[in-house]
Amino acid sequence: MSFSLQGVTRRLPALAAVAAAIVGLVNVASALTPGIRWRGHLLLEFEPVEAIRLFHALAFPAGLALLLVAPYLAKRRRRAWQAAIVLMITLGVFDLLKGLDFEETIITWGAAIVLILARDAFRVRHDPITLRSALWRVPLIGAGGLAATALATWAAQGRPSLRTVAIETADLLRWQQGPIHYHHHWAWIPLGVHVVGMATVLAIAYVIFRPLTAPRSLPSPAAREVASNLVRAHGTDTLAFFKLRADKQYLFSTDGRAFVGYGIENGVLLLSGDPVGPPDAFPDLLGQVRAFAEARGLKLAALGASQGLCPLYEELGLRAIYLGDEAIVDLGRFSLEGRPIRKVRQSVTRLSKSGYEAELCELQALDPATLVQVEAVVERGRQGAPERGFSMAMDSLQGQHDHETLVVLARDGEGQVRGVLHFVPCYGRPAVSLSYMRRDPATPNGLTEFLVVRAIELLRERGLQELSLNFAAFAKWMHSPDKRIERFLGKLIALGNPFFQIESLYRFNAKFFPRWEPRFLVYEGAFGLPRAGIAAMWAEGQLPKPSLRTRESAPSR
């Protein structure tokens, strides 16, 4: 029963939009058609005929205004809900005063009562009507439309009197024939004025009904410091450190004990991995995040959520779908012995004989000349491809937190840097996460395998136990599908490998016999998956984003 009630509650805004549109159409039709004669005669006993005509004239734009409000009801706009109730109550009065139209009044006021009872379904707030917003923007837009209409009438007749212009402007805006007749070249003016009038109304509606916008400015240094401290205190998750990217936005819990990193794409507030903080703070924090997104008309999604957080998201009414697996290498158990890993062993042996060596360094300890070489390898390794990353990569090699990161460098026989692995820390556990890996395209095949193996050995010597190597999308469907549909999807993914290299990345990770940790995409609504999927691919740089300007994103892991 509760499930069905939740379903009805979710559909209330759409039902309210349909009801408002129907009420608006009924009132427009009523205003444009003659009233019932005997009711008109009865009404003349109480008011003059001029008043009846006036209320007919007022009912028409009020009905149109209700039609304009209806789409915003479907988007759960709070101010649209308020406007719709006022319009419906007013229209009910107009219906009585223009022709004793009891039927229209009952329908209109009945819809208003339903809206009042469903007030909790309209939670999307708007930019506040302040002196900077509605108090000057709405009059300015209206004055602009009025001025454009007046200018058109003035230009068409060669400087007519101001009185004639005022009368003609008023008549045109009321869609009436005025004293000026347009011929030949000026025949378009009435239609143009009508278009201007409608555009003006739409522009005013946008200013009034637009939702609150999420902050676009990047977090302040103080906010970044708070986030850094929380990551150091609670950043055990292998994706926690990536929230310190320079392009992430933050939302903190009201008690300041936890936070999320997010970005906004495709109308989706996209969380990066799991929240950071003590687990007992997550329910309240995610509830606040959900309310924050809802108040701004955004859908909520999470990219790279762990399996343990999925039940909490489901309690909030969200859905989770398997996205892929994070490959985590147990450094203590890894070995080059045995037939299954012989190809990796052969690559390491071949590169070693060619004079290649590897070293593990703290990034901040590199001298300027070495840093130049490292940055050059990173740039050449992209081979002109756009940078990628959001939830599982840093946005740059150097930055505010470079003193906490490690690099493994591959040098050739002449001591030149030819390959780079960049690692970020996991706090509270002996583990690191790979941010990205790059090699000079001119180096021999197998250098990346050489780098990973040497990194495993060097990190193990440093006392670390785990390495989050990479993320392989839909890996389970390729390495251990449980159902026929999963086997089919695994083969389908293999067909798309030339475009997205999903299978290639999985096979590379599998060479090191990792433990597979599933990650999920969380999304809102039964039909919210495509929207959240596009937002995730835009954020990660896996799908080109339509834009008038180029935007840089982060390197891929």
pLDDT at 218: 82
CA distance 397 to 404: 11
Given a contact cutoff of 8 angstroms between Cβ atoms, the answer to whether 397 and 363 are in contact is yes
CA distance 196 to 146: 9
pLDDT at 193: 63
Please give the span between the terminal C-alpha atoms of the chain, in angstroms, as a whole number. 46
Given a contact cutoff of 8 angstroms between Cβ atoms, the answer to whether 358 and 452 are in contact is no
Q: Which tokens hold the place of 136? A: 């000057």
Report whether pLDDT(126) > 70: no
Nearest to 21 by CA among 121, 111, 99: 111
pLDDT at 211: 66
pLDDT at 458: 96
Nearest to 98 by CA among 140, 42, 143, 151: 42
Report whether pLDDT(282) > 80: yes
Lowest mean pLDDT among 24-28, 149-153, 342-346, 437-441: 149-153
* H/E stretch holding 503: helix 502-510
pLDDT at 56: 64
Report whether pLDDT(515) > 60: yes
What's the pLDDT band for 349 if we cut at 50, 70, 90? very high
CA distance 454 to 357: 9
Nearest to 57 by CA among 27, 17, 36: 27
**Mean pLDDT computed over 475-500:** 73
**Mean pLDDT computed over 433-446:** 91
Report whether pLDDT(346) > 60: yes
* H/E stretch holding 204: helix 189-209
- DSSP state, 219? P
Strands 299-306 and 431-439: unpaired
Lowest mean pLDDT among 126-130, 245-249, 355-359: 126-130
How many CB atoms lie under 10 A from the CB of residue 8?
A: 12
What's the pLDDT band for 518 if we cut at 50, 70, 90? very high
**Mean pLDDT computed over 48-77:** 75
What's the pLDDT band for 180 if we cut at 50, 70, 90? low
pLDDT at 123: 77
12 or 214, which is more confident: 12
CA distance 417 to 438: 11
Report whether pLDDT(542) > 60: yes
- DSSP state, 218? P
Report whether pLDDT(534) > 60: yes
pLDDT at 5: 45
What's the pLDDT band for 412 if we cut at 50, 70, 90? very high
Mean pLDDT of all residues belonging to the chain? 82
pLDDT at 552: 39
What's the pLDDT band for 517 if we cut at 50, 70, 90? very high
Strand partners, 433: 424, 468
What structural domains and CATH numbers belong to the chain? 2-121 (no CATH), 144-198 (no CATH), 326-517 (3.40.630.30)
What's the pLDDT band for 181 if we cut at 50, 70, 90? low
What's the pLDDT band for 484 if we cut at 50, 70, 90? confident
Report whether pLDDT(502) > 80: no
pLDDT at 131: 46
pLDDT at 106: 87
Q: Residue 389 CA to chain centroid, in angstroms?
A: 16
211 or 554, which is more confident: 211
pLDDT at 550: 38
pLDDT at 2: 41
- Cβ burial of 229 (10 Å; 0-12, 13-18, 19+) is exposed
Percentage with pLDDT > 70 across the chain: 76
Report whether pLDDT(116) > 50: yes
pLDDT at 427: 94
Report whether pLDDT(3) > 50: no
Quickly list DSSP for 316-364. TTEEEEEEEEEEEEETTT--S-SGGGHHHHHHHHHHHHTT-EEEEEEGG
How many CB atoms lie under 10 A from the CB of residue 515?
A: 12
Report whether pLDDT(185) > 50: no
Distances in Å between the Cα of 537 and the Cα atoms of 188, 225, 323, 541, 550 are: 46, 29, 12, 6, 16
